[in-house]
Amino acid sequence: MIQRAQGHLPTHSYGLEPPALPEVTHDAVVVVPGIMGSELLDTGTGDVVWGLANSRWLTRAWLTRSGLAPLQLTPDELAGHYGRVVAPRLLRTPVWSPFLNGFEPYHKLLRTIGNTVAHPEAVLTFPYDWRLPVAAHARALATAAREHLTRWRAHPAQAAARAHAVDQREARLVFIAHSMGGLVTRAALSLGGDGDLADDTRGVMTLGTPYQGSVVAANILNAVQGAPIPLPHGRLAAAAATMPGVHDLLPRFLCLEEDDTVRRLTPADVADLGGDKDLFQASQDFFETLARDPLPGLRPIAGVGQATVQSMRLVSGVVHASEYCFRADGDGELKRDAHGRPLRFPGKGDGTVHRPSASPARNTQNISAQHGALASGSQAQVAVSSFLLEDDHLGQEQADRVLGLQVPDYVRAAARWDVSVTGTDDPAGVTCSVSAVDSEYSRTARVQTDGDDRLRATVSVPDTGLYRVTVTADHSPPLTQLVFAGPGGTGFIDE
């Protein structure tokens, strides 16, 4: 006789109830990483030129004269002859970059997707050389996605899962794209040479994609000629000046303050701040061709609650960025106060991409996270799983309170520095920890009130290397950010 716990539904009289089927999608999934999210390999030397996180590699890359030389585009590459550098796979370890801070690998995202598809072969990752223009990857991604869908539709696991799908429709593509990956996906669907690819795509989820660019890209290019800055920032600026991919991320919205007006950047402005005017003009021309083609089934994810620059002044070639934005009416007229001055609106984002740039559609889902960790957080995993299972129409779970995290992107070993937590002035239930990425070092820092709606923790780390700052709270999802600790001194180190 079968025993039943009190309160359970009765079993059928003729035997046990059938087991519930696992929730999976029968669609094919393509994962497209963001800028700096793919490992890069120099085919001539066989060396990994981007994607190692150990302290020795980070120090050599950012603090030696030739550390970033392999990343700079050669004249041949600028002329469109690619292949010297290839992207064999997605990031396997966390990496760090000035201005953009740290980038977490995509392990958690891939694990979530793997648990939601009918078979591991339903998932395709698309690493790419993020130094190159977005346009350079359109055809390659379109071809790879088409071949992936064709293979998957012929797979026995697809047929089995399709039999249990609503309406038993044919499998389609779902793109999950982080940061620049959303722009690459958009280019593939619009200009990839496969006119049926958009129709064969069920949906696109983008996480922190800068549809209108980011002021952070202007800061990166300006570091060569701006105020005194740490050495790694200048090294990145010199390399970025040759990278079409970075110019693709420059802001294309009203952001440049001049007297009593606000306008968009021009190629002359980009040259003035340290970029390449021709690369920017090519980028502008490219994005104008995309503006007419919306992404099919788009579900954007925007990071919120983090201090994010979103406007700027350009004074004698130096960028002065600010954390406020401007708005215009539907006719393009700037919103002004009673005295005719442009109205400044407060706003935040994910620390790199401000919220309006990541939100091209009204069905945007907001997640409290830093840009580099946006695809690895628990909220993103829930959103991705719901999107793949077509349950996202049920809505999202909301945290009671949105916290922000601010840390320096570059510090000195043994020096003291501050971690700032915004969104609360109550330290109860809030913890802050700092742990090394490639060693067992970990410590908890004391969090204390630091004025209205802000907490502060003062910390230091003992050695050079990459560290992860984590803030947890009873009422908010965890926040993480990577910080690189360099040696003492300010000049180059011996190679």
The reply to whether 97 falls in a domain is: yes
The reply to whether 14 falls in a domain is: no
- C-alpha 415/C-alpha 395 separation (Å) is 45
Say what the pLDDT of residue 57 is. 83
Q: 354-401, pLDDT tens digit by residue?
A: 999 999 887 899 999 999 999 998 889 999 999 999 875 544 544 446
Is 386 found in the same domain as 414? no
pLDDT band at 65 (very low <50, low <70, confident <90, very high): confident
- C-alpha 245/C-alpha 212 separation (Å) is 14
Among 118-127, 229-238, 353-362, 386-395, the range of highest mean pLDDT: 118-127
- C-alpha 387/C-alpha 204 separation (Å) is 9
CATH number at residue 426: 2.60.40.10
Percent pLDDT > 70 in the chain is 91
Strand ranges (E), 335-380: 345-346, 365-368
Do the Cβ atoms of 272 and 317 come closer than 8 Å? yes
Is 414 found in the same domain as 280? no
pLDDT band at 476 (very low <50, low <70, confident <90, very high): confident
Which residue, 18, 93, 21, is CA-closest to 50?
93
- C-alpha 360/C-alpha 89 separation (Å) is 29
Give the number of domains in the chain: 2
Say what the pLDDT of residue 16 is. 62
Choose the final residue of a domain: 351, 366, 398: 398
Work out the mean pLDDT of the chain and round it to a whole number.
Answer: 89
Choose the final residue of a domain: 398, 417, 444: 398
The reply to whether 225 falls in a domain is: yes
Is 289 found in the same domain as 434? no
Q: Is the pLDDT of residue 225 over 90?
A: no
Return the ∠ at Cα 249 (arms to 80 and 199), rounded to 5°: 80
Residue span of the structural domain in which 468 resides: 404-486
Q: Is the pLDDT of residue 5 over 60?
A: no
Joined together, the tokens standing for residue 259 give 């007297």
Do the Cβ atoms of 348 and 355 come closer than 8 Å? yes
The reply to whether 9 falls in a domain is: no
CATH number at residue 81: 3.40.50
Do the Cβ atoms of 388 and 117 come closer than 8 Å? yes
Q: Which residue pairs from 261-268 have beta carbons closer than 8 angstroms and sit at least 24 positions apart in sequence?
A: 261/334, 261/342, 262/311, 262/326, 262/334, 262/342, 265/218
Which residue, 212, 173, 169, is CA-closest to 189?
173
Q: 314-325, pLDDT tens digit by residue?
A: 999 999 999 999
Residue 458, SS3 per DSSP: strand
Which residue, 120, 110, 112, 128, is CA-closest to 51?
128
Q: Between 313 and 229, whose confidence is greater?
A: 313
Is 423 found in the same domain as 274? no
Q: 252-277, pLDDT tens digit by residue?
A: 999 999 988 999 999 999 999 999 99
Say what the pLDDT of residue 228 is. 67
Q: 434-445, pLDDT tens digit by residue?
A: 999 988 999 999
pLDDT band at 402 (very low <50, low <70, confident <90, very high): confident
pTM of the model: 0.90
